Amino acid sequence: MQIGSIQIPAIGEVSPVFEGITLTVIDHGPGHWPGSALPCQAGNTVFPGHRVTHTHPFLNLDLLRPGDQIVFHMPGRDCVYKVTQTLVVHPTDLWITNPTTSPTVTLVACHPKHSAAERIVVKGILAADIPRPTT
């Protein structure tokens, strides 16, 4: 089920986002990690996605720099995050999904491109929660 969309202006990405992280979900776009915060909520909102297969929404995550925006368009609000860091971890490093006390975002994809040997992780903090009318 689509829950909103993600926009990453620095890399020209706009994609729907879905609930769940199974391959049948993320084959269509980034998936919301069950149990993690939703965008704009206090806590860590986690979204894994593909880099080179299917819709490849996270193809150019490696080009993001601190200060770049990650925007979630959710029902009734836009959640604007600012990138704070990019790191590379092992696939077993699930600490990246740990809850946080403040509103944060974690985007995850395989790394390097065309390999699942590691994971690229982009972290960010909430910069703005902008209400908007629902249609």
Domain locations in the chain as residue ranges: 2-130
pLDDT number for residue 135: 60
Distance (Å, rounded) from C-alpha 40 to C-alpha 125? Answer: 10
Structure tokens at 58: 């996270």
Residues 2-130: name the CATH superfamily: Sortase (2.40.260.10)
Question: Could you list the pLDDT tens digit for every one of the 135 residues in the chain?
Answer: 999 999 999 999 999 999 999 999 999 999 999 999 999 999 999 999 999 988 999 999 999 999 999 999 999 999 999 999 999 999 999 999 999 999 999 999 999 999 999 999 999 999 999 998 866
pLDDT number for residue 101: 95
pLDDT number for residue 133: 80
pTM of this structure: 0.96
